[in-house]
Each structure stands twice: as structure tokens, then as C-alpha cells.
Structure 1
Amino acid sequence: MEAAEHARLNAYFGRIAAHFTPADRPASLLITHLLPERPVFVRGVAAMTELRAVLPKPKSAHPETMKLVESSGYVCDKLSRELFADPDRALRYVEEKAAGLRVVLLDVGGYFAPSLHALCERFSGSIAGVVEDTENGHRRYASLDKLPCPVVSVARSPLKEPEDFLVGQSVVFSTEALMRGRGDILHGRAALVIGFGKLGSSIARLLHAKGVRVTVHDIDPVRRTQALSQGFVVARALEAGLEGAGLVLCASGALSLRGEAFGRLRNGAYVATVTSSEDELELAGVNEVYERAHVGQNVTRYLTTGHYFYLLNGGNAVNFLHGASVGPFIFLVQAEILAASAALVRGDLEPGLHEIGSADRAVIAATWLDYFNR
């Protein structure tokens, strides 16, 4: 990042922090994609909270960025689903980092969800609440029986829509790049997009623009009608959509392909996802049945008698292979995360799912326009 760009970004987050920083700064634990643009956001979190630890998402932790964050004095700890899956282990970790303090949990993907009840009931300090960034995480918290604290979700914010569209664009770009590495192209290929939310609909439109014949599958009947209204073929059953697809893009935010579904893939089909393999693909049984071989950069062939398919990036989000950049639009979402943290600290939110108000979003958008729409 050039010096002028760095200064502009620092100034932007400085204004956001000045507007939203609460009088009583809480402690925080930050789960994040540690990508090259992320250190400024980390500093923004540290300006508004007492940042006790950064937990980089394992599949999107840029080594040089991690070194930079650590050299700036922030602690980076290893993140895994297992860390917060066991309530006792999760409680020990949070006690180690922030015993006796009021803590905001900043999440990407619902990591804290399995232990949230235990943390709220047994932590020596207090859990002010959770800020969740993703649709997958939003669903994890929504599925909990009676949330024990407020969870402010930015997953469905209008400020996230530009990012979602551009993430879809980067997913298509990376998918095509990996296929081209093996001498294949998108044009003329039939594709199945699983999930027609903001990301899936963006992917479907972009694939169509590249000459791909797109079929959509979604378990939500409302989204199926939306896909039909936009001119896409809609598969009533997943199996029917899989059989003719030479490319399958999983964007459901839940398990898109279970073990038996892989056997229905047509020979030579490519499979790619927009998130972690553990969230979108049930690979354990498949790995026992199929032989695996690396046949290209980040392309794995799965082969068994009479059947084979290709998995891109080990089933993890393909766009992170090429930086996953969405330009300055990511700073809209990051600013909303900061605003959501401040909303939790005010203490007027009841346990349950929340969003920040339209007035706060307007402040963020206006500030962003001042810096990035010159």
C-alpha cells in the first residue's frame, strides 16, 4: 500500500473511531481474515477497544501481514473450530486473555457460538455481546436456543452488498484462473450454483455473462422464485442439478454437498466453494472412497472406479488464492463492525439478534464517500 493510500485509510478509520468510540472501552477478541489491507482495521479495533488477541482465520492468514500485526504489538493466537467448540476450553482461553473484563467478541463465521452460553454464564468478567460478519455465522447464532447476550450482525447490512457482489466476482475470477491452469475454460460450460443469496446470485450473474449455462439450486422457495425471475434454470432437486454440471459452485453458507452427492457429479466436473470446506462440503467419507492426486496448482483430482471430479483449493474459498480483494468497499463493512461494537457497549440491547441503525449506517457511508469517492 502506497504512503498516500495508507494515510487516507488511517484518516478514515480515525474519523470512524472518533464518532463511535464509547466512553467506556471494553476488551475485545478479534477473529478476522488477516489479509494485506487488514492491519489498519486491526488498529481501528484497538482504538475503540482494548484488543486482547487477534485470531486469524487459518485459511486466510497472510504470513507477512501477521508479522506486521505482531510487530505492532498485537498478540496473534491460533484459531480453530475446536478452540471454541468445547465450553470449558473456550472459557479457559477467554479467562486467560481477559479475566474480569467486559469483552466484545468480534466474529467471522460463528466461532464463538458453540460456547456462548457457557461464556455468558461462567466468565469472571462479562460478555457485552458478539459482532458477526458473515451469513454463515449469522445462521449459527440464529440457530442457538435463546441467545444469552446481544449479537449484532452485519451479514445482511446494505453496506455489505457491494462487498458481496465483488466477492462473487473474485470467486468467478479465481475459479476460471484455476481451470485455465489445466487448459479448461468457463465459456460454454454448464454450471450449478448452490445457494442464491447475495453471493450466489452475484456468482450466477457473472457466470452467465461469461457464456456459462447456469442452473441454480436453493432450498428456500423464495430464492428459487427470484432465480427464475432473473432468467436462470432452477433445479427442483440437487441431484438433478448436479448431473449435468461441469462446474459446481457452493455458496449456500451451509453444507452444500454431502457424501452421497459427490457420486452424482458428472465426470470431470470442477467443485469450488466461497467459504471453508468444513462449512460447505462433507468430505470425510469421500476421502475414504476416492484416491486423491494433485493435478494442477490448487487442483485435486478425486478418482474412484469409473468416476472422477476436481476439487479447487482443497474445498476452501477459491478467491483467497488471489488476494480476495474487493477494493475500498471492505472498509464500509469494517466500519460497521466498529459501530456495532460501540452499540454493544452502550448496554441498551437485549439478548438476541440485532443490526445497527440506519442513522449509523448513513454516517459510515457519508464518511466513506468523503475518502474514497473523490
Structure 2
Amino acid sequence: MELWESGERHVSWAARSMPVLTAIGERFALERPFDGLTIAACLHVTAETAVLMGALKAGGATIALAASNPLSTQDDVAAALREYGVAVHARAGVDRATYYRHIHQALDVEPDLVLDDGCDLVNILHTERTDLLGRVGGGCEETTTGIIRLRQMAAEGALRFPVVAVNDTRTKRMFDNRYGTGQSTLDGIMRATNTMLAGRTVVVAGFGYCGRGVAERAKGLGARVIVTEIDAVKALDATLQGYEVRPMAQAAPSGDLFVTVTGNRDVITAEHLAVMKDGAILANAGHFDVEIDVRALDELASEVHRGVRPNTDEYVMPDGRRLLLLAEGRLVNLTAAEGHPAAVMDMSFSAQALAVAWLARERSGLEPGVYDVPEHIDHEVAGLKLAATGISIDVLTEEQEDYLHSWRVGS
């Protein structure tokens, strides 16, 4: 708790770049949409998350927060949140058992609503804490990985309450996934390795919104970018944007830096590790630490040198090749750097806050399933962000509105 003053400064700095969420928090303080409600959240415990927690608390919520990644927790922010009256169960660098214990402790508040980042909290509710399912009225999910898991639960009839797919809004995919992930991933890689990307070959696994952002930023820094994909449409998109597209087996011998951004497992396996060049760097920007087969890397290596640089471990192969794994295969942008800039999270968390308020109001009339964020919320967040940055846009005239809503007017 002695860190709380440092955490408060950290949160205040982030809030300067989060005018939309700050304004929403001021509105919530007047409207009190969460009076009498308890929220359990499993999110990255960062300064930006603290601003979100402040907005929800201003709206009357009682909050318990666990970390969605033990390596991304900022201990000073956790202390500041405790000082603000948020029950925080998180500490940087805890082991897997403690990570899950913290999620259980957050659920001990018997929540009415849940916020998740990767679906671990929702998964535990449906497997180990089923006694609480009758009380939970709904939830929000922030990540692509989490939405994949939730849609599968819904398809199998296993999901027991409505969940809003905050990740799937246009503003989230554009601003957070593409621009935020692109910048923060390369920020983490460069902090961990101090490597120069110009002239190097970067292999980006996955060309969704996150992968697209990583590829764009790497290309902008002068790297030659190879994309690997399983989706023909995305692979074609990458090709038409000028990237070379190959299977990972063909890309593995060429890459200087590999970044996995797929939301799946075993993207880089022993087969690929065996042919990588000396000095190849391995980084993951997907949610869980399963995209790079770290166990195979351990088994292949004859020596492992931990911490050759901060967040960088060196694996020496029997033939003398050295492979560098960043952030233990976990999210490199949140482990080796500070995650997305606060201005990015202003958009994501504003959509999250408004979606939670909508869910608190509408949950009794919703069946279990995965729901899109109402479109008016997405437009409201974009409009507020433009206004905060002093940007104006055109407004349709009455004649233009009539034209768009009429089928009788020809050419």
C-alpha cells in the first residue's frame, strides 16, 4: 500500500489522455446507473483500467478487480485502487495458482455484473462457481480471444447469461486492436531487445485487426514483413496491401522477428523453432501464452539464460543457435511495455462503460448469448472522441436524409 501515491500519479497522468471516459464518469456520478449493483472484473490492472474503475464507481458500483494477466499488473496502480475503495486481488508476477485464486476472490463478492478480458472469469463461473450463475445478470468481454470462447459456449448452449462483445465494435477494432496493438507491441519489443527493425524481416502470424496494426507499424519502421494466415480472405487482403504471404513453415527460416497475433494455440511449434536463424526473436501479442510453444522451446534448448535483458530469455539450441523469447510468451505489449496508450484505451473503455450501463438497464429482458454493442453507443463514443480532439464533421441536410431513406428517387 506504500505505493499508492505513485499509483495515483500514474492514474492521473493516464486520465489526462482519457477525456471521453472522464466525461462519462461525470455523467455516471449524476445518473447513478449502478446503484446497488456489484461488479466483478478480470482486467489488466493498469492506470487506464483504474480510470474505468473510477467511472463505474462514480456510478454507484461496488467493484472487485482481479488481473487478467499477472505480468501486466502495475502494483502501484493496484495500491491506488485499493485506496479509492476498489477491492483489488492482483500482484505483479504471481504464479498460475495465485492468478486463479485472485479471480475466485473477485467472484466472492457475488457479482450482479462481470467484466472480462479473455473469458477466464466467465469460464470459472461456468465450471467452478456455478453457485453464482443465478445471480449474474450479464457481462462484457473486451478481447477477440474471449469472444471466440464465448461464441463457442453460446453455440453449445453452455452460456448462462448475456454477454456484450465490446471487442466487436468498429471503434474498438479500429482504434484499440489496430492502432493500439500495432504501436504498443513494437514498443514492448524494442524496449525488451533494443533491436532495429529497419531492414529486418518481421513475420506476423495473423492478419486480423491486431495483426494488421503490427504489420503496418513494422513496415513503417522499414521492416520487410511476411504475413502468415489460415483465412483466404485475410491472406488476399495482406497480399493486396503489399505483404508477402507464406505458411509459417516457409517463413520460419527467414524471420528475424516473429510476432503471433492469432488468438489460437501452437502457431509456432517445434517444427518451426528447429529451422529458425540464430538470434531470432519470438514475441506474442495474442491474449494467452499458448501461441508460441514455450514447452517445446524448453525441451529443444540445451541451455536457457533467463533475463539476458529485461523480459528477454535466451534459449541456446544444441547446434549453437540462440532464440530469444520475450515476456515468457505472454502479451509482450503489456509485459515489456505499458500496453496501449491512454488515448487508445479512452475509446475502448468508454465503449465498455456505456455497454455496462446499457446492460445494467436491459439485462432482465435479455436471453443468454453474445450481443453486439448497440450501434448508438459506438457512434456516441466516436462523436465524443472527435469533439474532445476539436474535430468537426459534416451533417446531412434534410434533403440528403430523404434521399438516403427513399427508394423512389432514381438517377
What TM-score does the superposition give when structure 2 sets the normalisation length? 0.79
Q: CA deviation at 1:298?
A: 2.3
In 2 relative to 1, CA 195–328 (structure 1 residues): closer, same or farther, beyond 3 Å? same
1:112 aligned partner = 121
Matches within 5 A, 1:59-98: 59-78=71-90, 93=105, 96-98=108-110
Structure (1 or 2) with the greater strand fraction: 1
Q: Is the 8 A contact 1:85 1:114 kept in 2?
A: no
Aligned equivalents of 1:38, 1:232: Cα separation in 2: 35
In 2 relative to 1, CA 134–4 (structure 1 residues): closer, same or farther, beyond 3 Å? closer
Is residue 359 of structure 2 the alignment partner of residue 350 of structure 1? Answer: no
Which whole-Å deviations, capped at 9, do the CAs of 1:86-112 have from their partners, x for residues lacking one?
9xx97x7576312xxx61110011112
Q: Is the 8 A contact 2:314 2:324 kept in 1?
A: yes
1:313 aligned partner = 327
Q: CA deviation at 1:6?
A: 8.7
Q: Is the 8 A contact 1:218 1:224 kept in 2?
A: yes
In 2 relative to 1, CA 125–119 (structure 1 residues): closer, same or farther, beyond 3 Å? farther
Q: Any idea what SS the aligned residue of 1:188 has?
A: coil
- In structure 2, list runs of 5 or more residues that go unmatched: 1-11, 392-411
Which amino acid in the other structure matches residue 327 of structure 2?
N
Q: Is the 8 A contact 1:277 1:314 kept in 2?
A: no
Aligned equivalents of 1:215, 1:298: Cα separation in 2: 25
Is residue 235 of structure 2 the alignment partner of residue 241 of structure 1? Answer: no
In 2 relative to 1, CA 95–83 (structure 1 residues): closer, same or farther, beyond 3 Å? same
Aligned equivalents of 2:309, 2:328: Cα separation in 1: 12
Aligned equivalents of 1:217, 1:20: Cα separation in 2: 48
Q: Is the 8 A contact 1:16 1:335 kept in 2?
A: no
1:330 aligned partner = 345
Q: CA deviation at 1:333?
A: 1.1
In 2 relative to 1, CA 212–337 (structure 1 residues): closer, same or farther, beyond 3 Å? same
Aligned equivalents of 1:118, 1:3: Cα separation in 2: 36
2:183 aligned partner = 169
Which whole-Å deviations, capped at 9, do the CAs of 1:212-249 have from their partners, x for residues lacking one?
111100111221111111111111x2211112111101
Q: Is the 8 A contact 2:41 2:106 kept in 1?
A: no
Aligned equivalents of 2:141, 2:133: Cα separation in 1: 23
In 2 relative to 1, CA 84–269 (structure 1 residues): closer, same or farther, beyond 3 Å? closer
Q: Any idea what SS the aligned residue of 2:41 has?
A: strand
Q: Which moves more between the two structures, 258-267 or 309-318?
A: 258-267
Q: Is the 8 A contact 1:194 1:250 kept in 2?
A: yes
Whichever of the two has the greater Rg, that structure is: 2
Which amino acid in the other structure matches residue 335 of structure 1?
S
1:149 aligned partner = 161
Matches within 5 A, 1:208-223: 208-223=219-234
Q: CA deviation at 1:259?
A: 3.8
Q: CA deviation at 1:250?
A: 0.8
Aligned equivalents of 2:14, 2:35: Cα separation in 1: 32
Aligned equivalents of 1:351, 1:170: Cα separation in 2: 34
What TM-score does the superposition give when structure 1 sets the normalisation length? 0.86
Is residue 211 of structure 2 the alignment partner of residue 200 of structure 1? Answer: yes
Q: CA deviation at 1:339?
A: 1.9
Which amino acid in the other structure matches residue 176 of structure 1?
M
In 2 relative to 1, CA 185–94 (structure 1 residues): closer, same or farther, beyond 3 Å? closer
Q: Any idea what SS the aligned residue of 2:140 has?
A: strand
Q: CA RMSD in A?
A: 3.0
1:32 aligned partner = 43
Q: Any idea what SS the aligned residue of 1:231 has?
A: coil
Q: Any idea what SS the aligned residue of 2:160 has?
A: coil
Q: CA deviation at 1:332?
A: 1.6
Matches within 5 A, 1:16-31: 16-17=27-28, 22=33, 25-31=36-42
1:363 aligned partner = 380
